[in-house]
Amino acid sequence: MPFPKSSMYKHLHEDVTSLLEDTGLNFTFHDRDDSRASIKDHDTNIMGHFVCKNPACRSTGWSSKKIAVTIRLYRGKKYNARVYHQRCKSCNWLSQPQLDDSYAERVVYRLKRWNGIEVERYQSFDKSKGPHDNKRCEGCKAGHCSDSSENDLIGELKRSVALLSTAGKLLTCI
C-alpha cells in the first residue's frame, strides 16, 4: 500500500477543545476523512517539521511554514482537518509532518468564524527561509494549498508572456 498523501490528527483534538473553552463551543472530531459529507470546508496553511523516513536518505528533515490543510465542518458539531504531506527534497519520499501549535490555532480560528464569533485575522510572524515548493507539496497537487492557485496563475502569466514574445518576434520578421 502506498504511503498516504495526507493525514488527520485526532490526538490534537484536546488542544482544539482547550482553545475553545472560553467560547462555549463544543465540537467532536469527525473520524472519517470524507469531504463529500462536510457542510463547509476551508483551505489554509499551518506550520511544522518533516523528517524523511527513507533509511537510505541523508536528509535531516526540514521545517515548513506552509503545510496545506483543509478544515471541514460536519453536521452535529463535528469537524476534522486533512493535513497534506510533503516530499523530501533529497529523495522524493512522502513525509508526514510533526505539527506545532498552529494546527489547533487555525482550526479554532475557522470554527469560531463559522459560528459567527468575531476573531482577529490569524497572523504568523515566523518568516519563511525560502519559497514554497509546490512540486513537493501534496496540497498543491490536490488543489488545496493556498499557493496552488497562485502558482497556477504565475504559470499562466509566464506562458502568456512567452506567447507575446514569440508573436512580437514573428511580427518583426514580417
pLDDT at 157: 58
**Residue for grid cell 515548513:** 64
Q: Residue 116 and residue 158: Cα distance in Å, rounded?
A: 40
pLDDT at 121: 83
Cβ proximity of 50 and 99 under 8 Å: no
Give how far Cα 147 sits from Cα of 18, 45, 73, 152, 163, Å.
30, 10, 23, 8, 24
Cβ proximity of 50 and 138 under 8 Å: no
Residues in the chain: 174
Q: What is the mean pLDDT of each run of 10 residues along the chain (174 residues)?
A: 90 98 96 96 96 95 95 98 97 97 97 95 67 92 80 53 58 60
Backbone φ/ψ region at 141: left (φ over 0), alpha (ψ -120 to 50), beta: alpha
pLDDT at 14: 98
54 alpha-carbon distance from chain centroid: 23
